[in-house]
Amino acid sequence: MFGSSLMDITVRVHSEKFCNAFRVCFLVSFENVMADLAELEKGMDMVRKEAEQRTGPGNAGPGAAGQVILRDFLANAEEKLRRLRTEAKSAQDAFRDCVEFFGESPRTTDANSFFSLFVRFARAFKVTSPNTLKNR
């Protein structure tokens, strides 16, 4: 049983897709992503207010082209922001589940330190796994 588990881990750790996924997770600060999303939402609120002001009574003059541009922008960007919000929530839930699976607290463990453990493990495992398999 141990041998098959070791082989399974070896295949996964040596997989470039596996290693690259952890490197990307290590490089991206989840906290910064959430802060950027909050800034995007604030900016979108400002655009909505601007659009409401421009569509108010007495604003049908030469600025009508600006109204159309703002409406088009809002129609396009609101859906993208909604998808980003959904994906960020999904990523947050997946991270929480992953951290809890390994017995850590999501409140005290940040993504950088958590995934850096996997990157270091994968590097060390790549170095030692050929020797371990030879000694079997």
3 and 67 inside one domain: no
78 and 61 inside one domain: yes
- The per-residue pLDDT for 134 is 64
Residue carrying structure tokens 């998808």: 83
The string of pLDDT tens digits covering residues 2-25 is: 444 544 555 555 556 666 666 666
- The per-residue pLDDT for 22 is 64
The string of pLDDT tens digits covering residues 97-134 is: 888 888 888 888 888 788 778 778 877 877 776 666 66
Average pLDDT on 25-34 reads 75
What's the whole-model pTM score? 0.64
- The per-residue pLDDT for 3 is 44
Q: Determine the Cα–Cα distance for residues 9 and 133; give it in Å rounded to an integer.
A: 12
35 and 62 inside one domain: yes
38 and 103 inside one domain: yes
> Exposed/middle/buried for 125, CB within 10 Å: 0-12, 13-18, 19+?
middle
- Could you tell me the residue range of the domain that residue 69 belongs to? 30-109
84 and 120 inside one domain: no
User: Based on the structure, what is the number of domains in the chain?
Assistant: 2
118 and 79 inside one domain: no
22 and 64 inside one domain: no
25 and 35 inside one domain: no
